[in-house]
Structure 1
Amino acid sequence: MQRLVLFIAMCSLISLSQAETEIVLVKEQFIPKYYSSPGYTAALYKIEISSKHTGFITQLLVEAGDIVEKGQLLLIIDETVNKQSIEQVKKEVEIAQVTVADAKKDVNNFERLRKVQSVSEEKLRKARLLLARSQSSLLKAKAKLIKTKAATPYLRVKSPEKAQVVKRLADAGDLAVSGIPLLYLEVLEPLIFETTIPVQWLTKLTKEQTVKINLNHSFAG
C-alpha cells in the first residue's frame, strides 16, 4: 500500500513539474463592443421636381413609390403652344432668308451699275443699308428660333438621378405653374443611417470613426 501511494505521489509531482514549464503566448488584439440602438435609413439627397414653364400637364407617368431611372420621363407639359411657336418662328426665318437673298442681289446689281455710272452712289448706299438690316433681322429670327426650341426639353420633365418617387402633388390635366413643386424624389444612393445614442457612448467614439452597423444585413460606414 505504501508503494502505491508513493508511486501516485511521484506521478503527481512529475505532472506538476511539466505544467509549470509550459509557455503560454499572450496575443494583444482588439475586442469590439456592440451596442444596441434604434434607428432608420434615409436618403441623403432629395429632389424637388417642378416645371420651368406654365402649362397644363398632359401626361404624368409615375406614381408615389415608383423607382425611376436617371433620364426617365416623368411628366409632359402641353407642347401645343410651343410647337405652334416653333412653326411660326421658322416661317419668320424663311421670310428673313428670302429678304436677305433679294437684298444681296440688289446690292450686286447696283455695284455693277455703279461701275458704269448707271446708278447713283445714294441708291447703292441705301441698297447696302437694306442688306445690313435684312441680315440683322435674319440673325434675330434665328436666335428666336433657338430660344423657342430650347423650351421643348423643359416641357418633357425627366428624372436627374435614379430615385424613388415619395410624393406626387399633381395629376394629368392640372395646371403646372413655373417653380411650383409637382413631385418629390429621394435619391437611392447614397443612404444615411440616423440613430440616437446615450451620452456615455460619446466618449467611446471619435470623429470620422468607421463603425459596423447591423441592420437586415451588415455593411461598414
Structure 2
Amino acid sequence: MKNGKLVILLASLLIFSLVISGCSSQSEQAVADSEPKKQESVQQEDSKDSKLVVQVAEATRDDLKVELDFTGELAAYREVNLVPEISGVVREIKFEENDQVNKGQLLLKLDQAMEQAEVEKVEGNLEVAKSRLDNARKKFKRIKSLYEKNVISKSEYDSTKSKYEVARAQLKQAKASLNSAETQLNKTTIESPIKGVIAQKRVELGEMATTGNPVAKIVQLRPLEFEGSISTTDLTKVEVGQSVTVEVDSYPERTFTGEVNKVAPTVNPSNRGLKVTVQLANEELLLKPGMFAAGRILVDELENVLVVPKAAVKEQNSSQQILVVKNGTVENRDVETGPANNNRIVVTEGLKPGEKAVVRGPANLQSGTEVEVTEWGETE
C-alpha cells in the first residue's frame, strides 16, 4: 500500500515538472519573437528621422574668365646649325656648350694662310691696274687734244682710246678679284648669326671643318615657343594675341605668361588637331626646349553672369539638368548653359540667383527627396 502511494507521488511530481518546463519554453519563445519586431520598429523610426546629405552651392552673379586648356612641348624660338662656307683646319675656338652668345660674336677661326696670300696677291694686281689706268688716262687726254686739233689721225686716236678703256676694265676686274678674295678670307672666321645659347659643340681645335658639316648648334631661348594642339571644334575661340598661362612640372609653384603667336592654317593629319604656337618671354632662361607643358588660353572675359560649379550640371537624355534644393526638398530643373572654365559654368536659363544647386550627393538622387544640406567647399 505504501509502495502504491509512493508511485503516485513520483508520477505527480514528474507531470508538474513537465508542465513548468513547457510554460518556460513558451515564455522564452515569445520574448525571442518580439525582439525582431522591436528592432524593426526602431529601424523604421530611425529611417524616418535620417535624411540624405548633399552639398550645395549658391547660384551667383560674377565675372568669369573663359579659358581653353591644351598641352604641348616647349621649343626653341630659332635653331641654327653653324656650317662653314669653306673647308679648313680649325685654328681658334671661342665657345663651349651652354655659352650664351650675341649676334655677330666671333666663334671660330679656320686657317687663313691661303686666303690671306690670295688677298695680298690681288691687292698687288689692283695697284698695277690703277697705275696702268692712270697712264692710259693721261695719254688718252693728250691724244684727244691733238686729235681735236687735227694733228693726229683718227686711227691713232681710236687706238689710244681703246687702250684707255681696256685699262679701266682691268681696274674694275682687279677690284672684283679683291672683293672675291676678301670674301673668301672672311669665310675663315665664323660668327654667330643670332643671339642665343650654344646647344652643341661639334668640332675641336686642329680638326678639319668641312662645308656641309655643322661645327655647332645655336638655339634662341629668349623668347621661347610653346607648341600645342587644340581640337578643331575650338578653332573659332583662338586668335593671335590672346593671353596664355603656361605651367611645367619642373616649376610646380610658378606660372609663365605669353600670348598666342601663330595658329596653323591646316589640320595635323596625325591627330586631327590644330597647332597653336605661344611665345614666352623666358627672361630668366628657366624654360628649356623639350619640356612638356600645359597651357591655358584666355578666350573671353564675361561680366556679371550667373554661374554655378560645373559639377552641378548633369547631362540627362540630351538635355542639361540641375538638382535644386528648395525648402529641404530636391527639385529637378532643366537648364541651358553657356561658356565655362575649369571650375564654373554660366547658366543662361532655368536658374535664379540665390538658388541652391546640388554639387555632390548620392547617386540617382531623385526629385522630391528630402535632404540635409551642407555648403559646397566645406569639406573640399
Q: Which residue of 1 aligns with 2:155?
A: 122
Q: Which residue of 2 aligns with 1:63?
A: 96
- Match for 1:83 among 116, 140, 145? 116
Tell me whether 1:49 sits opposite 2:82 in the alignment.
Answer: yes
Q: Which residue of 1 aligns with 2:257?
A: 220
| Structure 1: 5+ residue stretches without partners | 1-23
- Match for 1:170 among 184, 187, 203? 203
Relative to structure 1, the CA distance from residue 33 to residue 122 in structure 2 (aligned partners, 3 Å threshold; closer, same or farther) is closer
Q: Secondary structure at the match of 1:157?
A: strand
Relative to structure 1, the CA distance from residue 116 to residue 183 in structure 2 (aligned partners, 3 Å threshold; closer, same or farther) is same
Deviations 1:46-84 (A, max 9, x none): 111011122222111111222212222111122222221
Counterpart Cα distance in 2 of 1:179 and 1:48: 10
Q: What do you get for the CA RMSD once the two structures are aligned?
A: 3.3
Q: CA deviation at 1:44?
A: 2.9
Q: Which residue of 1 aligns with 2:337?
A: none
Structure with greater Cα Rg: 2
Q: Which residue of 1 aligns with 2:64?
A: 30
Q: Which residue of 1 aligns with 2:41?
A: none
Q: CA deviation at 1:123?
A: 2.1
Q: Secondary structure at the match of 1:178?
A: coil
Counterpart Cα distance in 2 of 1:172 and 1:179: 18
Deviations 1:83-102 (A, max 9, x none): 21111111111111111122
Q: Which residue of 2 aligns with 1:180?
A: 213
What amino acid is the match of 1:220? T
Q: Secondary structure at the match of 1:53?
A: coil
Q: Which residue of 2 aligns with 1:101?
A: 134
Q: Secondary structure at the match of 2:215?
A: strand
Deviations 1:115-149 (A, max 9, x none): 66654332222111111111111111112212222
Q: Which residue of 2 aligns with 1:161?
A: 194
Q: Which residue of 2 aligns with 1:18?
A: none
Deviations 1:153-191 (A, max 9, x none): 332211122211111111122222223211111111222
What amino acid is the match of 2:117? Q
Counterpart Cα distance in 1 of 2:130 and 2:93: 40
Select the structure with the greater relative contact order (CA < 8 A; seq sep ≥ 6).
1
Which has the higher mean CA deviation after the structures are superposed, 115-124 or 125-134? 115-124
Counterpart Cα distance in 2 of 1:52 and 1:120: 54
Question: Contact 2:70–2:229 at 8 Å: present in 1 too?
Answer: no
Relative to structure 1, the CA distance from residue 87 to residue 40 in structure 2 (aligned partners, 3 Å threshold; closer, same or farther) is same
| Structure 2: 5+ residue stretches without partners | 1-57, 259-380
**Which of the pair is proportionally richer in strand?**
2
Relative to structure 1, the CA distance from residue 92 to residue 29 in structure 2 (aligned partners, 3 Å threshold; closer, same or farther) is same
Counterpart Cα distance in 1 of 2:164 and 2:214: 48
Deviations 1:97-120 (A, max 9, x none): 111122223223333444666543
Q: Which residue of 1 aligns with 2:182?
A: 149
Counterpart Cα distance in 2 of 1:99 and 1:78: 34
Question: Contact 2:94–2:106 at 8 Å: present in 1 too?
Answer: yes
What amino acid is the match of 2:183? A
How many positions carry a matched residue from both structures? Answer: 193
**Which of the pair is proportionally richer in helix?**
1
